Amino acid sequence: MGTWRWVGLVVIAAAGLAAYAWYELTPPPTIDRPLTVSDARRLLEAQQYAAALGTAQQILQRRRDDPQVLMVAAEAATKLQRFDEALQYYGRIPDSAEQAAVARWAAGEIQFHLGHASAAVREIERSIALDPDLYYARERIISLYNTLGRRRETLPHLMYMLQTDRLQVEYLLFIGNLAKETANFEELQRYLRAQPDDPLPHLGLGRLAMERGQHAQAREHLERVVADLPQLVEGHAQLGLLYLKAYPQRLADWQAHLPTTAQAHPDVWYVRGRWLTPTHPAAAARCFAEAIRLDPNHLPAHQSLAQVLHQLGENEVAKDAGQRARRLQELNIALEQIYKARTYPPLLQQAAELTLDLGRLWETRGWCAYAAMLDPSLSWPREVLGRAQALLPASGPLPHTLPSHYLVARGDWAQRLPLPDTSLWNELATKREGPTAQPSDAAGESPPRFSDVTDASGIQFQFDNNTANQIDGRRIFETTGGGVGVLDYDRDGRPDVFLVQAGAYP
């Protein structure tokens, strides 16, 4: 039986309960010869699940570790909603067996439908490790990672989908902006109802709370993730982003407890750079450079790098960083618009052109193929693909982003910047420096200081940035810019300031 036989194993048939009752009253068929796996398969294909399970169990009495029989028994048990039994059968199949990858995937599907998030991820990851070409396992892991807030880990699986021509516009949207939040609150709650002690769903919940400005809730979720799953680097990265935004006094402790694997996460370097910017701008620039080396499409790192390099006098590289940041922002805006209008050719062309300009040729190819599939009469996909063809490397595999488009590959400017080491982190931990605690390294400069003189000046002002009203997509003033109205709205003889990007939305 091929792997396709098990693709639908977790579809629960309504007739399963009736079959189970029939099995309780009717023993497996009597055959005058030893039962074989073919007998069990025929019963399974005839949807006689209870009889198939009984037959497989009889065979397993004399062939206890036969992977083929275990697969039949597991699928039959699944159809009968005997999930614990099915998982036991799948678990008995060794990694060396031909069926092992499918067995791990099938077990992961059961765990997913039971709401066991960590177990589902564990089984699906094992499946892909055993057979990287099991594309439906990759489909599931993309879905799980997106829901759980592990967006960066989807990249190799999304790349596989593009490289094997399994084109879906959702994959292009996902890979186009790995920073976009895709955690699903209802699904995360389902996981916690099924297994309240599983810490993994708290990562997605923490990210959602942080996006909504609910910092205390986000901290509770993310600190639990880091405490219970200390080797999950994404948890540390998200906690660092939260501390940077709302609890800067916690950054020294955050840095001290990072696992060694955190060195490979771009968001960790971004947080370090932001933390160091006011006090050690050169070291901050190196942190942003490291973030970009790990992720050449990291928008905030490019924006921050452009600012700090201007301060350091590296104006040429700062200009390049700013230009790439603008291109990345333009792409993000285009993708947000495509979310709402997935068949509008001008937007698809814009995505293709921007990904080409950013050196992301796999995505360029995907957008061109998608547009041509929607409208074969379009001429621009062929023209854009022709320009992309000219950029292909002479040899070797084509990466997600062309090395020639890595900002850190242009000259030796990054290597000339000081890489923060243990002594610097220890210094910061000792001084408990926050983002504005110490004077700048630059001669004659000091961080700005702000004092609230609103009341003393007689100004009545209220600003509501409406962080509680989260919706998908972007409003017009969030893409083209907003404005400020200064009029005497209440006709009291004094000007009133109205900011269109504030206040409750209709």
| Predicted confidence (pLDDT) per residue in 273-314, tens digit | 999 999 999 999 999 999 999 999 999 999 999 999 999 999
Question: What pLDDT does 477 receive?
Answer: 58
142 vs 159: CA distance, rounded Å = 11
What is the C-alpha separation between 409 and 406, in angstroms, rounded?
5
Cβ neighbours of 211 (radius 10 Å): 13
* Distance of alpha carbon 384 from alpha carbon 351, whole angstroms: 11
State pLDDT tens for residues 149-181.
999 999 999 999 999 999 999 999 999 999 999
CB burial string 405-429: b at 16+ within 10 A, e below: bebbeeeebbeebeebeeebeeebe
Q: Which residue, 499, 471, 504, 469, is CA-closest to 214? A: 469
DSSP assignment of 125-158, as one string?
Answer: HHHHHH-TT-HHHHHHHHHHHHHHT-GGGGHHHH
20 contacts: CB under 8 Å, gap ≥ 6: 49, 50, 80, 81, 82
Q: How many CB atoms lie within 10 A of CB 40?
A: 29
In the chain, where are the structural domains located?
Answer: 452-506
Interval 440-466: pLDDT, tens: 444 444 556 666 676 667 666 655 555
Q: Please give the Cα distance from 481 to 85 (Å, whole number).
A: 58
Mean pLDDT of the chain: 88
Q: Which position has the higher pLDDT, 346 or 17?
A: 346
- Among residues 121, 147, 265, which one has the least CA distance to residue 203? 147
- At 225, list the tokens: 């993730």
Residue 432 has pLDDT above 80, yes or no: no
In sequence order, the 6+-apart residues with CB closer than 8 A to the CB of 464 are: 502, 503, 504
Mean pLDDT across 308-336:
96
pLDDT over 70 for what percent of the chain? 82
Judging by beta carbons within 10 Å of its beta carbon (0-12, 13-18, 19+), is residue 46 exposed, middle or buried? exposed
pLDDT for residue 436 is more than 50: no
pLDDT over 50 at 17, yes or no: no
Mean pLDDT of 201-210: 98
d(CA 364, CA 387): 10
Q: What pLDDT does 471 receive?
A: 54
Name which of 306-310, 422-426, 491-495 the model is least confident about: 491-495
Check whether 498 has a pLDDT greater than 80: no
pLDDT of amino acid 107 = 99
Residue 473: band (very low, low, confident or very high) from pLDDT cuts 50, 70, 90: low
Evaluate whether 239 touches 223 at the Cβ level (below 8 Å). yes
266, amino acid identity: P
Task: Return the DSSP state at 30.
Answer: P
* pLDDT value, residue 475: 61
Is 60 exceeded by the pLDDT of residue 405? yes
Determine the pLDDT at residue 423.
Answer: 87
Q: Report d(CA 192, CA 114) in Å as an integer.
A: 11
Alpha carbons 408 and 318: distance in angstroms, whole number: 12
> Quick one: three-class SS letters along 221-280?
HHHHHHHHCCCCHHHHHHHHHHHHHHCHHHHHHHHHCCCHHHHHCHHHHHHHHHHHCCCC
* pLDDT attached to residue 455: 67
Report yes or no: 251 and 240 within 8 Å, Cβ to Cβ. Answer: yes
β-partners of residue 485 are 498
Greatest pairwise CA separation for the chain in angstroms = 103
Rounded to whole angstroms, the Cα distance separating 447 from 434 reads 12
How distant is the alpha carbon of residue 241 from its chain centre?
A: 15
Q: What is the pTM of this model?
A: 0.82
Task: Quote the tokens at residue 348.
Answer: 């698809």
Q: In the predicted model, is pLDDT for residue 19 greater than 60?
A: no
